[in-house]
Amino acid sequence: MLENVVEFFKNLPEKVCVQCGDKIEEQSECYSNTCDKCNSL
């Protein structure tokens, strides 16, 4: 059961900004779909 969860997260695609398509760095406040650059606009 636990292994399935690990596999699930390993297979997740990299999170990218919906605005510019840049990869979003892992952050504690990672609730948005845009990068810092687009967030500040």
Question: Which parts of this chain interact with Zn ion (CB under 5 A)?
Answer: 17, 19-20, 22, 35, 37-38
Q: How far is the CB of 33 from Zn ion (least distance, A)?
A: 9
Q: How far apart are CA 34 and CA 41, in angstroms?
A: 10
Q: How far apart are CA 11 and CA 34, in angstroms?
A: 21
Q: How far is the CB of 28 from Zn ion (least distance, A)?
A: 18
Nearer of residues 22 and 27 to Zn ion, judged by Cβ = 22
Nearer of residues 20 and 30 to Zn ion, judged by Cβ = 20
Q: How far apart are CA 8 and CA 6, in angstroms?
A: 5
